[in-house]
A and B are shown apart, each in its own frame.
Chain A
Amino acid sequence: MAHIPDGFLSAPVLATTTVASAGALALAAHRSRQQLRDRQAPLLGAATAFVFAAQMFNFPLGAGTSAHLLGGVLVAAVAGPWVGMLVLFSVILVQALLFQDGGVTAIGANTLNMAVVGAGVGYLLYRWLRLLLGEGLRRRVLAASLAAYVSAALVGTSVAVELALSGTVPLRPALLAVGGSHLLVGLGEALLTGGILGMAARLRPELIEGAPVTRRARRWAFGGLGVALVVAVGAAYGASTRPDALASAAGSLGLAAHSGTWRPLAQYSGAGPWGALLGVGVVFVLAWALFRVSAGRRPA
């Protein structure tokens, strides 16, 4: 449930998320106007209509399941992050007001999750992965696909955190239910984003041109990868030695009601830094192999 309905979030969470997304949208409107000038209106209209139409498709994913496209990373990869954020906001707005899909008061929270995190952060991931993976159509498609997966997982996480901060569901079950389901949703999203982008780029290669990959930018990207790995290992280690870190942080935010029952990552305690490193590494290699295989099978 990426679209949070009315009634699930508390007033402080609603206010904070609304203010945050309003700021992000104002920035997006300003920047896209600077970039596109009088091309902005028709481009935004076309992209919004496309996302609407694309969300109506039900793609069969095998094993009796199907998924629809969320489209944040796809639009951001084609038209840039600012257009992506504005388009997703328009879609969320219409879905809330016209189809009661997602609450009217939760528009701010849903925008933060799907437009700012889903499209904006998703685009950052896409840019970063493009620098890591290098030039070429297949690599770009792979970058978009991976970014779509991580962005879906991030959307799930932020929904779970918002539900927990509102006191609706404690953090751990929320993360398991919403975050976990988005790990599955992300698979569909990655497949669809990669597939559609690959086919569209073969029809119109100029769609995913973007800025050229320079050696300097690549060096920065790999530096960022190193920092991210260190932070991930450090966080996993920190969580395993002090399993109450998250709970005490939540307690200091005034959420003492549930903090006693929270033990996030407690099952990792005793693993030590090497266990954490191993875990992070295994997940990374698995994801890498999975997407290499799925990208390699696609006929060029």
Chain B
Amino acid sequence: MSFRHLDRYAGVPSPVTRLAPSARVLATVVLALAAALLPLGAWPQMAGLTLVVLGIAVAARMPVRVLAVRLAPPLVFVLLVSAALPVLVPGTTVAHIGPLSLSDAGLLRFGSVLGRALPALAAAVVLVSTLRFTELVQALRDLRLPRAVTTALGLAYRYLYILTDEVEQLQRAARSRNAGAGAASRRRLLMGIAAASLGRSFARSERVHQAMLARGYRDGIPALRPQPMDRRSLSALAIVCAVALGIAWTAHL
């Protein structure tokens, strides 16, 4: 169990990976925000934002095929959730599919939801493909998220592998006993495993706490490789902000 497949392009030297992680996270948020600010039916602007993200992906040496493959699952999810919109939203009926009538207002919303989601999702995919988890935590810390959250994320990343290994052991033990045949007993078994891992993770947190105190832990966990915002990252972020918000602004003219 690992997230190795996620940040496959984090180690690839490129103009994108050279920037500070906090700048990259901020740029992703700005791109998603610009997409969210687009009004219904702003098709050229939606295409423009998608092209900007594609440009960043190319700059990060990320093959477009990989981007497409990674984009597919979340995009299919958005498609499924928004599929009901043409039917649910009242408006002038433009087409019929069996007993369902599709309204123009609903279709407009359906297309706009997809058009806004595409650049935002693509930006997030490019971000995580080029960013290690530790860098993400560091970026969130630089962006002044509550210490509690960033420390929790950093530690959770360490615990998660241990916890999934433990869960796999418990499941293997259950399989070797032929436990959990049938839905009801399988549910009971899984609940037992979940309950055991709940107890174990809290017990572990206490042990780790003792160990941290024994090693002189006071408050906060220092960063091993701080990557502060430098001038290059700042200017790149400014360019992305200007382009993205400029595109969003043209939609409101």
Contact = CB atoms under 8 A, between A and B. Distances in A.
B128 A98 contact: yes
A39 interface: yes
B134 to A, nearest CB: 13
B84 A177 contact: yes
Interface residues of B, number: 85
Nearest to A197: B195
Contacts of A50: 163, 197-198, 201-202
Contacts of A89: 149
A45 B163 contact: no
Given A6-B35, A60-B186, A101-B74, A196 B89 contact: no
A45 B121 CA distance: 27
A42 B88 contact: no
Interface in B24-57: 25, 28-29, 32-33, 35-37
Contacts of A25: 146, 149
B239 interface: no
Given A38-B219, A200-B199, A49 B163 contact: yes
A100 B125 contact: yes
Contacts of A96: 124
Interface in B189-221: 190-199, 201-206, 208-209, 212-213, 217-219, 221
Contacts of B74: 5, 99-101
Given A14-B36, A45-B159, A204-B202, A1 B81 contact: yes
B152 A5 contact: no
A60 B201 contact: no
A170 B78 contact: no
B149 A86 contact: yes
A33 interface: yes
A40 interface: yes
Interface string A87-103: 10110011011111101
A46 B71 CA distance: 30
Interface in B110-138: 112-117, 120-121, 123-125, 127-128, 133, 136
A80 to B, nearest CB: 12
Interface of B: 3, 6, 25, 28-29, 32-33, 35-37, 71, 73-74, 77-78, 81-82, 84-85, 88-90, 109, 112-117, 120-121, 123-125, 127-128, 133, 136, 140, 146-149, 151-156, 158-160, 162-164, 167, 183-184, 186-188, 190-199, 201-206, 208-209, 212-213, 217-219, 221
Interface of A: 1, 5-11, 14, 25-26, 28-29, 32-33, 38-50, 52-54, 56-57, 59-62, 69, 74, 78-79, 86-87, 89-90, 93-94, 96-101, 103-105, 168-170, 173-174, 177, 192, 195-200, 203-204, 207, 258, 261
